[in-house]
Amino acid sequence: MFKLAWRNIWRNKRRTIITIVSIVFAVILSSLMRSMQLGSYERMIDNSVRFYTGYIQVHKLGYWDEQVLDNAFYPPKGLQEQIESLDGVEAAVPRLESFALASHGTRTKGALIIGVDPEKESHLTEMEKKITEGTMVGLNEPRVVMGSGLADYLNMKVGDTLVLISQGYHGVNAAGKYAVAGLVEFGLPQLTNQVVFMPLPAAQYFYGADGLLTAIAVVTDQSGYVDDVREAILGDLDSSAYEVMDWKTMMPELIQGIEIDNISGIIMLLLLYLVIGFGMFGTFLMMTKERLYEFGVMLSVGMHRSRLQLLIFSEIVLLATLAVLTGFALSLPVINYFSQNPISLPEEYKTAFEKFDIEPIYAFSNEPIVFTSQAWVVFFMALVLSAYPLYKIWKIDPVTAMREGR
Amino acid sequence: METVTDKKIVIETRDIAKVYQDSKIAVQALRDVDLEISEGEFTAIVGPSGSGKTTLLNIIGGLDNPTSGTIRVAGRDISKLKDSERIDFRLHNIGFVFQQYNLIPVLTARENVEFIMLLQKIPVHEMKARSLHLLEEVGLKEKANVRPSELSGGQQQRVAVIRALASRPKFILADEPTANLDSASAANLLDMMARMNQEEGMTFIFSTHDQRVIDKARRVVTLEDGIIKSDEIRS
């Protein structure tokens, strides 16, 4: 049966090749489109999660709804160590976050102040790798690292002094001046344009919030561990005093934005596959029409309809498999290359992208789903389209088929 | 009209009629056809185009149903069989030879001969031995591994005939088997079928208007306008 099916698909080589090429083209194009789309989402999530929130955060209950310093908390003794001891947890990163007015010379801008433990923070933001100028600060230094966008706005460079004014914990005045140790640049332009990283003890002192944290960000080994880790942390904490949130809960706008964009991407893919589907259907139609006489003969000599249907179905599946595998073989190296070497947009587009707070990079995903989803779509289409020849065989009358098929 | 009565009757039609409803016009292809065919006969059904030869052959082969009347083949009323039962019946009892050689183009000559045996689930070694033996019988052993497109019309028809014979059916129904063949190929094919009829004892029924086939037949049934006009048995 397999041998017969294989030979049958090659009996009209030119048509088979045209069909395979059209499916291959669809698989490559849709894989690239999907890879770019998913890659952009991964990059956006990564930029937001890895560079900012972390996959999970522990706060005082109510902090996320009202993100003010007064909702900071004293971390229970040993909590950080306890979280870090959980399976799948890479690090627990303490933070104290608030806002301040940042000034240099005659310029002032609102800034996001993040008090960090530089050693722990490297697990989350890998900040030391994002330093574009100067150096990282040590935990006990009274210096800061600031976003390059903010530095540009304030006309500052490494070594200059940044003046910060704010309101501290429970309304105390907060003011200080800090030397700039380094400049950082993140994938999120919004963050680069407003962030100031300060060593945690310095931030706590600045805000009059000694020993207080606004969040403990948790870095997991893999994003798939988030739910389990969150459950484990929740189990160890008093839920009437603390909240444990995952990144999806903390960034619903990002998820919604991705979902909306995803739908438009899927519609584009469907349109592409619709065109290819017509091509495939044309082939299956011809396969059936031109072999009507042969089908009549096969039924006459004693081949059961179900067996003939199985033969035709095998031909369709073989054709689809061949095309999908060829599509994979050709798209895999391209996607792998681009996932390692994302396309960086020319300078003139960067400003436009940054306006929408999007990193001016086309990233590609090489997650297996990029490929498997194409395989499923092609096979599903083949399955649906095979209904026509299978129905035709079910209804065929051998005598009529032999008369009309001549 | 003579009938054959000394041998076991294997095909029996009673008052067979067939009406085709073509658009709004009803075409009477067969009317009141009574025919008995005995085991081992070598019978030609002759008549002009449109006389009902192929229709009668299709009804005997279970490919078509009569509008009225009964048809018993090998003791079974085949018009009452379900579609799948009828396919099984054809598979195990009837070998077909068509005017267009109807070989499967992607299979070699040997694989074509084995095709029906494959459907019958005959063991591979037996299938191979039988196909090679038959190909040798018809002088095509050296062509066993070539595809139909590399065979002449006569060679293709010989393969089609031995494919029908290979599964040892009780009957061979051949619809205009020599229509597309030159004289030499037709004579060769007829000799081969006559030999198979003698050696294997199979019942052969041809529909034809080829005089070469008619001359070879031991019984000639003549149809005209769907009615049996004569039934001649030759010694």
Are B109 and B135 within 8 A, CB to CB? yes
Report whether pLDDT(A146) > 90: yes
Q: At A165, is the secondary structure helix, strand, or coil?
A: strand
A169-183, A235-249, A357-371, B198-212: which is most confident: A169-183
For chain A, say whether B213 makes contact (Cβ under 8 Å): no
Tokens of B109: 């000559």
In this complex, do B87 and A4 lie within 8 Å of one another by their Cβ atoms? Answer: no
Ramachandran region, residue A315 (left: φ > 0; alpha: ψ -120 to 50; beta: rest): alpha
Q: According to the model, what pLDDT value does residue B1 have?
A: 43
In this complex, do B63 and A399 lie within 8 Å of one another by their Cβ atoms? Answer: yes
For chain B, say whether A11 makes contact (Cβ under 8 Å): yes
Q: Higher confidence at residue A342 or residue A110?
A: A110
Cα–Cα distance for residue pair A377/B18, rounded to 1 Å: 49
Distance set, CA A58 to CA A80, A217, A262 (Å): 10, 7, 30
Cα–Cα distance for residue pair B49/A14, rounded to 1 Å: 39
Cα–Cα distance for residue pair A227/A218, rounded to 1 Å: 12
Mutation site for B-interface testing, chosen from A6, A13, A16, A300 by largest number of B Cβ within 10 Å = A300
Residue of A nearest to B103 (CA): A294
Residue A29: exposed, middle, or buried by beta-carbon count in 10 A (0-12, 13-18, 19+)?
Answer: middle
Q: According to the model, what pLDDT value does residue B67 have?
A: 92
For chain A, say whether B116 makes contact (Cβ under 8 Å): yes
For chain A, say whether B104 makes contact (Cβ under 8 Å): yes
Residue of A nearest to B95 (CA): A301
Q: According to the model, what pLDDT value does residue A405 have?
A: 66
Residue B48: exposed, middle, or buried by beta-carbon count in 10 A (0-12, 13-18, 19+)?
Answer: exposed
Residue of B nearest to A306 (CA): B84
Q: Which residues on chain B are in Cβ contact (under 8 Å) with A305?
A: 83-84, 87
Cα–Cα distance for residue pair A149/B153, rounded to 1 Å: 84
Q: At A106, is the secondary structure helix, strand, or coil?
A: coil
Q: Which of A294, A302, A402 sits opposite B90 (nearest CB)?
A: A302
Map A202-259 to HEC letters.
HHHHHCCCCCCECEEEEEECCHHHHHHHHHHHHHHCCCCCEEEEEHHHHCHHHHHHHH
Residue of A nearest to B98 (CA): A297
Cα–Cα distance for residue pair A134/A159, rounded to 1 Å: 8
Q: Which of A11, A299, A406 sits opposite B106 (nearest CB)?
A: A11
CA B227, distance to chain mean position in Å, is: 20
Tokens of A347: 């300078």
**Average pLDDT, stretch B196-211?**
87
In this complex, do B100 and A7 lie within 8 Å of one another by their Cβ atoms? Answer: no
For chain B, say whether A290 makes contact (Cβ under 8 Å): no
Q: According to the model, what pLDDT value does residue B4 have?
A: 45
Residue that has been written with the tokens 């207080």 in this structure? A212
Are B46 and B222 within 8 A, CB to CB? yes
Burial A385-402 (b: 16+ CB within 10 A, else e): bbeebbebbeebebbebb
CA-CA-CA-CA dihedral for B153, B154, B156, B157, to nearest 10:
120
Distance set, CA A320 to CA A20, A28, A378, A382, B232 (Å): 8, 14, 7, 7, 58
pTM strictly above 0.80 = no
In this complex, do B107 and A4 lie within 8 Å of one another by their Cβ atoms? Answer: yes
- For A266-280, the pLDDT digits (tens) are 888 888 888 888 888
Mutation site for A-interface testing, chosen from B65, B84, B102, B147 by largest number of A Cβ within 10 Å = B102
Tokens of B103: 């070989």
CA A98, distance to chain mean position in Å, is: 28
In this complex, do A294 and B104 lie within 8 Å of one another by their Cβ atoms? Answer: yes
**Average pLDDT, stretch A353-380?**
78
The bridge status of strand A173-184 relative to strand A215-220 is unpaired
- For A54-84, the pLDDT digits (tens) are 889 999 999 999 999 999 999 988 888 999 9
For chain B, say whether A70 makes contact (Cβ under 8 Å): no
Q: According to the model, what pLDDT value does residue A342 have?
A: 85
Burial A200-239 (b: 16+ CB within 10 A, else e): bbbbbbbbbbeebbbbbbbbbeeeebbeebbebbeeebee
Are A254 and A48 within 8 A, CB to CB? yes
Other beta carbons less than 10 A from residue A177's beta carbon: 13
Residue of A nearest to B113 (CA): A301
Q: Which residues on chain B are in Cβ contact (under 8 Å) with A314?
A: none
Report whether pLDDT(B108) > 60: yes
